[in-house]
């Protein structure tokens, strides 16, 4: 019998989807719905290597998902063979430390958690309700970005602020990209042929958003994102770490809270320094001698090296470091810039291995490098589908 699982990743105006057959972990279809709620909505659907597209305005997520089901009916895969739906859910707060079956109570808890993730959780909840309407007969499951980090040590997740305020408002480090850090760290252990529990690892998820995690004794012990996905590394459009005093200073200088939020989340990072947010464009500009792009690269690498150093100290040594996501998987120049600054710490890059482009996990350090350096293409959908399958199987 087929074990097809539909995975949905919803934003406020977009939905990415994928159908996997979990009898053999094969991708059956992928799709992207864009500009939901506005003019010019589109749906792109790929199945069996063929692409189908539809340009039709969708007023909301329900209309968009209805169009997706019509696309399935016309071109496959069979809607009737979908056994479960998995929903990527950004913030599980302190309430969810694992993947759960969605009930009315779970939805209410997500509503209660929405102030912690105002940009992410509300569209997620809208998509859950819309998907339940178009697929009422199958279990719906929530997979949380925060769950992998739910049991960080208290010393890692606690901010040094007034305890009563922190407890009342649930202010602590939560961490994000957990599905990716989970998948990649397990793939590192498999690739090296070593038990997961025996490895001290650092995972660098470098996409448009970026985060680092440190894993020891089979558990994450630290990660760079915090209450929100704004903390930590420099990202495509997010500042990452800055002096917390900057917020109050900007506010007193006349910016509104929304303007400050937008400045730090959408107009900072690579975009803020170099004027472009895609690492390919930043690298191209830097190569032509553009000083702003060069500074952006320098800050990006400096931040990465300093996080890696700090995590080596927390782990008291490291066995393996893995690069993943758009920048980590593709930008050999960034990997080289970072690793070459760690040669006295036992990181020896093999330039030929680093230059290889592949969708497979691979070692890019030399055979005698004390620290193993890897590139591991992340696969959040597969990790989600495995977790959904487990929940559905009970
Ligand atoms: P993600 O969020 O994982 O999809 O990563 C998207 C980001 O990866 C883009 O914004 C680019 O900055 C970066 N990226 C993708 N492909 C490349 C590439 N070939 N070289 C450098 N950076 C890349």
Measuring from each residue's beta carbon to the nearest atom of ligand 1, which residues come in under 6 Å? 207-208, 236, 278-280, 325-327, 330-331
Q: Which of 327, 330, 331, 378 to mutate to test the pocket of ligand 1 (most atoms within 8 A of CB)?
A: 327
Quick count: other Cβ atoms within 10 Å of Cβ 140? 22
Question: How far does residue 12's CA lie from ligand 1's centre (Å)?
Answer: 22
CA-based nearest residue to 221, from 155, 154, 152, 173: 152
Instruction: Name the CA dihedral angle for 248, 306, 174, 86, rounded to a multiple of 10 degrees.
Output: 120
Q: Using the predicted structure, report yes or no on whether residue 107 has a pLDDT greater than 90.
A: yes
- Give residue 394's pLDDT band: very low, low, confident or very high (50, 70, 90): confident
Quick count: other Cβ atoms within 10 Å of Cβ 243? 8
Q: Looking at the DSSP assignment, which residues form a beta bridge with residue 86?
A: 7, 141
Q: What is the mean pLDDT of residues 206-232?
A: 97
Could you give the strand order of the β-sheet that contains 100-101, starting from the edge strand earlier in sequence? 50-55, 42-47, 26-34, 15-21, 4-10, 82-89, 140-144, 100-101
Number of Cα atoms under 13 Å in the Cβ half of residue 270:
24
Q: What is the mean pLDDT of residues 385-390?
A: 97
Euclidean distance between CA atoms 129 and 104, whole angstroms: 10
- Give residue 95's pLDDT band: very low, low, confident or very high (50, 70, 90): very high
pLDDT at 216: 98
Q: Produce one character per residue of 281-306: b if its CB has 16 or more CB atoms within 10 Å, e if not.
A: ebbebbeeebeebbebbebbbebbbe
pLDDT at 238: 96
Question: How far does residue 361's CA lie from ligand 1's centre (Å)?
Answer: 17
Q: What is the mean pLDDT of residues 316-333?
A: 98
Closest ligand 1 atom, CA of 378? 3
Q: Which of 280, 324, 356 to mutate to test the pocket of ligand 1 (most atoms within 8 A of CB)?
A: 280
Q: What is the mean pLDDT of residues 369-389?
A: 97
| Whole-number average pLDDT of the chain | 96
**Closest Cα to atom 10 of ligand 1:** 278
CA-based nearest residue to 369, from 195, 192, 154: 192
Tell me the three-class secondary structure of the chain, residue by residue: CCCEEEEEEECCCCEEEEEEECCCCEEEEEEEEECCCCCCCEEEEEECCEEEEEECCCCCHHHHHHHHHHHHHHHCCCHHHEEEEEEEECCCCCCCCCCEECCHHHHHHHHHHHHHCCCCHHHHHHHHHHHHHHCCCCCEEEEECCHHHCCCCHHHHCCCCCHHHHHHHCCCCCCCCHHHHHHHHHHHHHHHCCCHHHCCEEEEEECCCEEEEEEECCEEEEECCCCCCCCCCCCCCCCCCCCCHHHHHHHHCCCCHHHHHHHHHHCCHHHHHHCCCCHHHHHHHHHCCCHHHHHHHHHHHHHHHHHHHHHHHHHCCCCEEEEEHHHHHHCHHHHHHHHHHHHHHCECECHHHHHCCCCCCEECECCCCCEEEEECCCCHHHHHHHHHHHHHHC
Catalytic residue status for 368: no
pLDDT at 137: 92
Its pTM stands at 0.95
pLDDT at 119: 80
- Give residue 200's pLDDT band: very low, low, confident or very high (50, 70, 90): very high
- Give residue 280's pLDDT band: very low, low, confident or very high (50, 70, 90): very high
- Give residue 2's pLDDT band: very low, low, confident or very high (50, 70, 90): confident
User: What does residue 21 show for φ and ψ, rounded to 5 degrees?
Assistant: -90, 110
pLDDT tens-digit map of 36-67: 998 899 999 999 999 999 999 999 999 999 99
Q: Which two tokens stand for residue 200?
A: 């001290």
Euclidean distance between CA atoms 182 and 201, whole angstroms: 11
- Give residue 161's pLDDT band: very low, low, confident or very high (50, 70, 90): very high
Annotated catalytic residue, options 112, 145, 198, 241:
145
Q: Which two tokens stand for residue 185?
A: 């760290």
Q: Using the predicted structure, report yes or no on whether residue 1 has a pLDDT greater than 80.
A: no
């Amino acid at each position: 019998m087929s074990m097809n699982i539909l995975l949905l990743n919803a934003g406020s105006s977009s939905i990415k989807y994928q159908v996997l057959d979990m009898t053999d972990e094969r991708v059956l279809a992928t799709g992207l719905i864009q500009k939901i709620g506005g003019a010019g909505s589109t749906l792109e659907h790929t199945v069996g290597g063929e692409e189908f597209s539809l340009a039709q305005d969708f007023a909301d997520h329900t209309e968009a998902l209805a169009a997706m089901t019509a696309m399935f009916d016309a071109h496959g895969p069979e809607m009737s063979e979908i056994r479960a739906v998995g929903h990527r859910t950004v913030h599980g707060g302190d309430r969810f430390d694992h993947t759960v079956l969605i009930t009315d109570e779970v939805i209410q808890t997500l509503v209660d958690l929405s102030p912690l993730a105002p940009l992410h959780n509300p569209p997620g909840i809208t998509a859950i309700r819309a998907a339940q309407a178009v697929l009422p007969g199958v279990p719906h499951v929530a997979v949380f970005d925060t769950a992998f980090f739910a049991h960080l040590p208290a010393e890692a997740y606690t901010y040094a602020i007034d305890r009563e305020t922190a407890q009342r408002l649930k202010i602590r480090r939560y961490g994000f990209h957990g599905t990716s850090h989970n998948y990649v760290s397990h793939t590192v252990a498999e690739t090296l042929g070593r038990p997961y529990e025996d490895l001290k690892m650092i995972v660098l998820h470098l996409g448009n958003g970026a985060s680092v995690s440190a894993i020891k004794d089979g558990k994450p012990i630290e990660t760079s994102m915090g209450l929100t996905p704004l903390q930590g590394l420099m990202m495509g459009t997010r500042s990452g770490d800055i002096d917390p005093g900057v917020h109050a200073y900007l506010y007193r200088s006349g910016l509104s809270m929304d303007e400050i939020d937008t400045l730090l989340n959408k107009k900072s990072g690579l975009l803020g320094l170099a004027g472009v947010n895609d690492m390919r464009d930043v690298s191209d500009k830097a190569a032509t001698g553009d000083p702003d792009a060069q500074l952006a690269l320098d800050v990006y690498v400096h931040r990465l090296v300093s996080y890696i150093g700090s995590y080596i100290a927390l782990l008291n040594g490291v066995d393996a470091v893995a690069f993943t996501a758009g920048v980590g998987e593709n930008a050999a120049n960034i990997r080289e810039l970072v690793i070459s600054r760690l040669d006295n710490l036992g990181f020896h890059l093999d330039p030929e291995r680093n230059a290889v482009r592949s969708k497979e996990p691979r070692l890019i350090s030399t055979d005698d490098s004390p620290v193993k350096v890897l590139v591991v293409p992340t696969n959040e959908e597969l990790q989600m589908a495995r977790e959904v399958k487990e929940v559905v199987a009970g």
